[in-house]
Each structure stands twice: as C-alpha cells, then as structure tokens.
A and B are shown apart, each in its own frame.
Chain A
Amino acid sequence: MEQNNSLPPFQGLASPQGAMTPGIPIFSPMMPYGSGLTPQPVTNTNSLSLLEEQHRQQQQQQTPQLYHSQTVTTTTLPGNTPLYTTTPLTPMTPITPATPASESSGIVPQLQNIVSTVNLGCKLDLKTIALRARNAEYNPKRFAAVIMRIREPRTTALIFSSGKMVCTGAKSEEQSRLAARKYARVVQKLGFPAKFLDFKIQNMVGSCDVKFPIRLEGLVLTHQQFSSYEPELFPGLIYRMIKPRIVLLIFVSGKVVLTGAKVRGEIYEAFENIYPILKGFRKTT
C-alpha cells in the first residue's frame, strides 16, 4: 500500500544550475554541518520539516533525488506524513544520479515498546483492585503497586495508590493510549471515579537490522566521545547520540536497538543519522 503525498513545488528555490524547471518538486537534501551533536559523516535527513526550512546549503546537491516510495507497514503512522515520495520526472529535466552518501537507508526501525504514564485523578485502594480485578497481582512487601495485564493490546500496567499508572508493552502510540484507557475502564468499573488525565508517552524503543556486520572497534575509536564499548560488560556498543537524544545499542551482527525517544520521529531521525556511519564500519570479510 503506497501513500503518495505530492508536495507543492517549492517556488522559492532558485535552481542553481539553471537547468531545472521550478515546477518540479526539488528535494534539497539537508547537509547539517556538525555542531558536534549530530554524528558525522554528512547525513541526509529527509524529513519533511527540513525540506520546508528551505536552507540554502553550499553543496550543489540540488538534484532531484529518486526516492523509492515507502511501503507503509501495518502499524499506521498517526500524525506523521511519510518521508519518501517518488519524483514525477519529465523528459526535459536532466537527471544526475544520486550520490550514495545522500541516499536514505531504506530501513525503517520497528517500534517494540512504548512506556506511557497517565493520571487517573483519584486515590485508589490497591487491595480491593487486586482482589476483584482479573489478571492483577499485588505484593506490597515487594512493590507498592498493582501489576495488571490485559491481552489486547498485550500490555502491562503498574497502578499506584496515588492514582498514577504506568503502561508498558504496547507496540504503537495508539495502542498504548488504547491500553491505558482499558485499564482506566477496569479501575472505573471497580467503583473508583477514574479519569484520564495527562496521558504522556515517556519512552519509545525501536529496533532494526542494517543487514551487514559492523566493526565495533573502529566505531568506538572514531566516535569516542559518544560510544562506550566494553565487551566485558555488554557485548554491544552503547552510542549516546546527543541530537536527537537517543541511546543506540549497536551489535556486531548489525542489529540496532534505539531507545529514549519521546516521539516516533526521533527514532527515525537517529537511525538515519547513524546509518551512514555504520556503513562506513561495515566488515569487509
């Protein structure tokens, strides 16, 4: 299933070579010059917001890039427009082939876990909840909250006596919100005046596979200030990206885990930032 969002032509963009008709949407790849926070080498973050910024950059890379359209996966992307669109090419436009460095990775990290909190707005009696609700466990000597589970969406909630609740295990933002509402309903049915205040997603975890083995020793040598690789402590390299503030666990097999995001876009942005770097440390054998 493809989504085609045709972008309005950017009239404000003067064509540098003078050979391109302004009617064609020109995708200007962004080359953020390092503030030291975004990992180098020069990366190409193709998010729509950057295109709309209309930065004039020094590199003459204003060629229309061919982006393969993204097949949207079953998890919908609420609130997010797809990042990639095909360029309708007219025969009059000279096309220069896209350089590999500015191509997108084509891999989309899959969300694995969402942690969210919500305030039910009333004090709760955990003992009655634990006794009357199904799938609830409460061991006050071990932990001061009721642990409740529901099957659809498969999530776990920690419900505290103050009325605050933590919902974990959902695979998308909508599922997390739905699950939290279900838990609130359960609490409401048990007789408490539960409300649904301040639902907030606190953490999102995503994972993906770059499909090639990675030389972690090389990566830790060049990105010392961001990486921590201690094979005695953990087999993966822990990369703390500063912008966006995401922690990535990078493994020799090529699997990457991204965590610490508050919004989905941060995970995607972080992966697009790290992908060219990982390509540079691909194992050649």
Chain B
Amino acid sequence: MCLPHTVLRLDRIGDVLALPKVQCPNHPDAMLVEDYRAGDMICPECGLVVGDRVIDVGSEWRTFTNEKATQDPSRVGDAQNPLLNGGDLSTMISKGTGAASFDEFGNSKYQNRRTMSSSDRAMLNAFKEITTMADRINLPRNIIDRTNNLFKQVYEQKSLKGRANDAIASACLYIACRQEGVPRTFKEICAVSRISKKEIGRCFKLILKALETSVDLITTGDFMSRFCSNLGLPKQVQMAATYIARKAVELDLVPGRSPISVAAAAIYMASQASAEKKTQKEIGDIAGVADVTIRQSYRLIYPRAADLFPPDFKFDTPVDKLPQL
C-alpha cells in the first residue's frame, strides 16, 4: 500500500544531530506502536502505518522437537540470562561438518565444546538442580527466579563456599517459598532434594545470616490449602480446619507445638467431624508428621473442641462423638 508522506523531523539537541524521529503526520505527539511481526510502526490514534521495513526480531527458524537435533539451523543461541550469569557473550565454535573436519580415525579435529564458562559452571548446575527440584513440587516461575537470585547472592558472597551446592540450593528454595508467602515445610523440600533436613536447616540459618535477611514465622494457615487438597477434603472442611487451628493458637491450647503439628491435628478434628473422615496415618503422611504427634496435639485441643469449630459448621459427627484418643 502506498504511504502518505511521513514527516521526518531532524531534532537538534544542542549542536548534536539526533536520530530522525518518525511521527504520524496527523498526530505528531502520539507514541507509535511497533508491530514487530509485520515490521511496521503504527499510529495508535488513526491506525496509520507510519514506518515500515523495521527489522523483524522474531526467530529465524521455528524449531520442532522431532527434527534431528544436529540439524538446528538457528544461528543464535539460547536466550541470554543477564541477571544470573556474568553476561555470557562468549563465542562457541560448533562441530564441523564435511570431510575436512575429521581426522583419519574419524574423530573430529576441533574439540572445544567443553569449556563454556568455568566460573559459572557450578552456578548453572545449581540453577538446573533448582529447576528440577521446583518442578517436582510444581512451583511457579516466580519462586524459581527468586531462588536463583538468592543462590547467586550466596554464591557470590562465598561465605558458604564449603557447603554442598545442592544443600545451598535446597535452602534457597525453602527461603524463596517462605519469602513469597507460600512456605513449604522442610520435609517437603527434603522430599525433592537429596540433602538431609539437618543440613538444609543448617544452610538455611547460615544463608539468613550471610544475606542479613529474615523470614516471617510460619503459621498454621499457610499449609491448610495444600494439605487439605492433597487429602481431597472439601472446602468447608478446609475452612473449618483453618478456623480450628487459628483458634487453638489464639487460646494458647498448644504452647510450644510446631504449627505443622497443630495444623495436622486441626485437619484431623475437622475431617472427623465431617463426612470425609481421614485417619491420623493419612494426615501424617501428607503433612510429614508422625501420627503420635497428631495424637498429642489432638489431645491438647480435644477438651475445647466445642469452642474451636466455626459457628456455621455442619456437623456430620457431633462434637461429643468425636474420637477421643
């Protein structure tokens, strides 16, 4: 299509000639919207295509997974990760094709695929490990990014240099979950990591000290939605359990008990009062607490059971018929 005349203005900033600015002739003040797929600059007011033949920044080739991996014709590498790496601008020489690049035994003459960026190799490994761990428990991208940032900070500080990178990565994952407001228990992180809970706990404290941050205290409500949905309990039971746990802590019926144990006992009480009864063993498996622990906490909240339930709760089993262990 033919373009009406575009006004090309040469701005003079002092004595220096600025780059020519295209602008819509009808709306000189409008900020042009760039449509990079078509290579156009469009005026949002009137829809006039002002500039054309802007360089297309889309990918050159579309790559599909079923094609042979060696045949990737893309001439650019992976997306740069500027926040985390040292700005990987190194050039890599690919394996040669053709007869000249192979010597008489069939080995390729040029063999320099290994040394990418030795200083960041450990960090890249750790990022891969973090992504693997996070995938196992379906953590969203923002937590993974936060974990990566934390790991980078700790790694650069070098104060925890002697510790296993996996331990530091697991501890960073734990801290990131806490900081995002969705804490995971140490046992949950343990389940996806090869590091022991003790070591993760040690690294956790060391990292908090090294980065001079602190995290909020965990509460019973943080875990309710996850535990209840893993057990398949309906929303009313989950809400009742949340209420019970909160009330129990407010009334100080369970001093000194870990919030996880209190949450598990509350879920037990709520599920036993509803139609969906769960055993202590099932809850203990999901929450990562022993069933004797649930029993202990349950014994503490049982005497005041009538006060702990929310007022609008529909009892399948009345309060006096709740199991007494």
Contacts and interface: CB of A to CB of B under 8 A. Distances in A.
A283 B252 contact: yes
Interface in A105-125: none
A217 B252 CA distance: 12
B214 interface: yes
B252 A253 contact: no
A130 B185 CA distance: 47
Contact of A232 (B208, B218, B252, B256): B218
- Prevailing SS type, chain B contact patch: loop
Interface string B249-263: 001100111111000
A228 interface: yes
A285 B252 contact: yes
B201 A230 contact: yes
Contact of B258 (A213, A217, A232, A285): A232
A217 B217 contact: yes
A232 B257 CA distance: 9
B185 A232 contact: yes
Contacts of B258: 231-232, 235
Contact of A228 (B185, B186, B205, B260): B205
A251 interface: yes
Contacts of A229: 217
- Most chain B CB within a 10 A radius of its CB, from A225, A229, A230, A232: A232
Contacts of B201: 230, 232-233
Contacts of B252: 283, 285
B186 A232 contact: yes
Nearest to B198: A233
A220 interface: yes
Contact of A224 (B204, B214, B256): B214
Nearest to B262: A231
A26 to B, nearest CB: 43
Contacts of A213: 255
Contact of A252 (B214, B217, B256): B256
B217 A220 contact: yes
A213 B204 CA distance: 28
Contacts of A221: 217
Interface in B149-181: none
B217 A251 contact: no
Interface string A197-217: 000000000000000010001
Contacts of A235: 256, 258
Nearest to B187: A232
Contacts of B255: 213, 252-253, 283
Contact of B256 (A230, A233, A251): A251
A17 B217 CA distance: 48
Interface in B195-251: 201, 204-205, 208, 214, 217-218, 251
Interface in A223-263: 224-225, 228-233, 235, 251-253
A283 B250 CA distance: 12
A19 B79 CA distance: 81
A217 B259 CA distance: 12
A232 B260 contact: yes
A285 B217 CA distance: 21
Contacts of A231: 218, 257-259
A224 B216 CA distance: 10
Contact of B186 (A233, A251, A283, A285): A233
Nearest to A230: B201
Contacts of B256: 235, 251-253
Contacts of A233: 186, 201
A220 B217 CA distance: 9
- Most chain A CB within a 10 A radius of its CB, from B201, B217, B257, B259: B217
Nearest to B250: A285
A252 B201 CA distance: 21
Nearest to A229: B217
Interface in B113-158: none
Nearest to A213: B255
A277 B259 CA distance: 24
A217 B256 CA distance: 10
Contacts of B204: 230
A228 to B, nearest CB: 6
A269 B292 CA distance: 40
Interface of A: 213, 217, 220-221, 224-225, 228-233, 235, 251-253, 283, 285
Interface of B: 185-186, 201, 204-205, 208, 214, 217-218, 251-252, 255-260
5 contacts: A229-B217, A232-B258, A235-B258, A251-B256, A285-B252
Instruction: Give 10 nearest A-B pairs by CB, closest first.
Output: A252-B256, A231-B258, A233-B201, A252-B255, A224-B214, A232-B186, A235-B256, A285-B252, A217-B217, A232-B258
Given A229-B217, A230-B201, A235-B256, 6 more contacts: A231-B218, A232-B185, A233-B186, A233-B201, A253-B255, A285-B251
